[in-house]
Amino acid sequence: MKLQRMNRRALALGALAVSGALALTACGSDDTGNTSGDGSSETTQAGNIDCGDAKGQLQASGSSAQKNAIDAWIKQYTASCKDVQVNYRPDGSGAGITAFTQGQTAFAGSDSALDPEEIEASKKVCKSGQGIDLPMVGGPIAVGFNVPGVDTLNLDAATLAKIFDTQIKKWNDPAIQKLNPEAKLPDLQIQAFHRSDESGTTDNFTKYLKAAAPKDWKYEPEKAWKAKGGQSANGSSGLAQQVKATSGAIGYFELSYAKDGIKTVDIKTEAAEPVKATVENATAAIGAAKVVGTGKDLALELDYTPSADGAYPIVLVTYEIVCDKGNKADTLPATKSFLNYMASEDGQNLLADAGYAPMPTEIITKVRETISGLS
């Protein structure tokens, strides 16, 4: 984790050297562009991007989980394709899907695959087709904590479920102490934070709780938080800020937001040792995912209860949601060009240093084939 934080800090410094004109997202405060100090990485990346006939503005919105990855991709892409302006609004998966099905954006980012109702709604904007899921970004959902005097914390699914359902209220609760016999846990109130907006991160986090601790988590997984109690914040960045600022806090967000000193929980599974939230450990879990979408849809089924050593159980995959047919003629060239870059080897290579897991080869190969056939 220390090395990853150093990498992310170096990336942030590199991003400051890039012209602010290239930061074209609605929110740029968490930029994590992948450039070297002399800009050589940007030149190399830009040289491999195929702009084709892409031009004009490309509007997209959705998952805040992938914001840091999108920021890095936009910097590289617009450095080469200067006739394209990419605007990504990280307002949450639910809002992104709504904007897409209402025809406001060319594509959406979502940390959950489209459900049947959303697919049906997409047919109104995809005149001759429907919305499909393209898995593009993976990674661990880190559980960040702020407990004075505690640097390492082990928790299992049952204990996490009780914490986020406000059944465990103090950090020195016997259930937490049992999992951390060497820790000096304070008599401190737990401040559990969840997302206030509809979020695929919430959906995946609660899918993990439901799958791994069904007796202790009684709520069905959804993008909207269902448990009572706790405190809320908007977006992954909002949750991370609250955890960092609040003594006794705990919250869930993508690993790329666990920076500036935020510590993360090691998750106890059936493996011999608790598993750390790292890109490598998330990749081990995502590699076991199965494609369950039909036709051109590449929705995945994740395993939230892996037992293999080093497989981190709380993972998500962010999908880019786009029409398979019926895309708007004026934005289709830019949509295909930008998505092609995201799915390319160069695009995927940006992810690890930004705290994300690249898609396994067999999955991303199918994504590239599907993008080439968009119409």
Report yes or no: 331 and 106 within 8 Å, Cβ to Cβ.
Answer: yes
Q: Mean pLDDT, to the nearest integer, of 321-343?
A: 97
Query: With left for phi above 0 and alpha for psi between -120 and 50, is residue 113 left, alpha or beta?
Result: beta
Cβ burial, residue 184 (10 Å; 0-12/13-18/19+): exposed
Percent of the chain residues past pLDDT 90, beyond the cut: 79
What is the arithmetic mean of pLDDT over 227-246? 95
Is the pLDDT score of 175 beyond 50? yes
129 neighbors 230 (Cβ within 8 angstroms): no
DSSP 358: P
Look at the chain and count its residues.
375
- Higher pLDDT: 360 or 33? It is 360
Q: Which residues pair with 266 in a beta bridge?
A: 154
**60 and 145 part of one domain:** no
Structural domains in the chain (count) = 2
Distance in angstroms (rounded) separating the CA atoms of residues 137 and 283 = 11
Instruction: Calculate the alpha carbon distances from 308 to 140, 271, 273, 333, 335 in Å.
Output: 16, 6, 10, 43, 38
Is a pLDDT exceeding 50 seen at residue 88?
A: yes
- The residue range of the domain holding 262 is 141-284
Instruction: Classify residue 297: in a domain, yes or no.
Output: no
Cα 270 from Cα 129, distance rounded (Å): 43
| β 107-110/56-62 pair status | parallel
- Assess if residue 309 is contained within a domain: no
- One domain, residues 8 and 124: yes
Counting Cα atoms < 13 Å in the Cβ hemisphere of 258 gives 27
SS3 of 21-33: HHCCCCCCCCCCC
User: Among 284, 310, 342, where does a domain finish?
Assistant: 284
In this structure, of 4-18, 48-62, 123-137, 218-232, the range with the lowest mean pLDDT score is 4-18
Same domain, yes or no: 132 and 145: no
Amino acid at 107: F
Query: Is there a single domain that holds both residue 96 and residue 161?
Result: no
Residue 259: band (very low, low, confident or very high) from pLDDT cuts 50, 70, 90: confident
Count Cα atoms within 13 angstroms, Cβ side, for 127: 5
68 and 86 share one domain: yes
Dihedral sign for Cα 278, 281, 284, 286, please. Answer: negative
Q: Distance between CA atoms of 208 and 190, rounded to whole angstroms?
A: 21
Cα separation of 112 and 110, whole Å?
A: 5
Work out the angle between the directed axes of helices 93-101 and 200-212 (0-180°, nearest 10): 120
Considering the domain boundaries, does residue 304 fall inside one? no
Q: Are 276 and 163 in contact (CB under 8 A)?
A: no
Query: Chain-wide mean pLDDT for the chain?
Result: 88
| Beta partners for residue 301, in sequence order | 290
Q: In percent, how much of the chain has pLDDT > 70?
A: 87
The DSSP H or E segment spanning 186 is none
103 and 58 co-located in one domain: yes
pLDDT level of residue 47 (50, 70, 90 thresholds): low
Q: Are the C-beta atoms of residues 73 and 101 closer than 8 Å to each other?
A: no
Domain end residue (candidates: 230, 258, 284): 284
Sequence letter at residue 167: Q
The pLDDT tens digits for 266-308 are 999 999 999 999 999 998 888 888 999 999 999 999 999 988 9
Separation CA 14–CA 39 (nearest Å)? 8
pTM, two decimal places? 0.76
Q: Which of 104, 73, 96 is nearest to 86 (CA)?
A: 73
Query: Which of 141, 133, 30 has the alpha carbon at shortest distance from 75?
Result: 30
Instruction: Give the tens place of pLDDT for each residue, 22-36.
Output: 233 333 333 333 333
pLDDT at 75 over 80: yes
Chain segment 115-158, per-residue pLDDT in tens: 999 999 999 999 899 999 999 999 999 999 999 999 999 999 99
Structure tokens at 336: 């295909």
Same domain, 254 and 359: no
CATH of the domain at 157: 3.40.190.10
Instruction: List the structure tokens of 375.
Output: 């119409």
Query: Which residues is 267 bridged to in the sheet?
Result: 155, 275
Cα 205–Cα 208–Cα 211 angle in degrees, nearest 5? 150
Whether residues 113 and 149 share a domain: the answer is no
Say how far apart CA 116 and CA 108 lie, in whole Å: 16
Whether the CB-CB separation of 22 and 78 falls below 8 Å is answered with yes
71 φ/ψ angles, rounded to the nearest 5 degrees:
-55, -45
84 found inside a domain:
yes
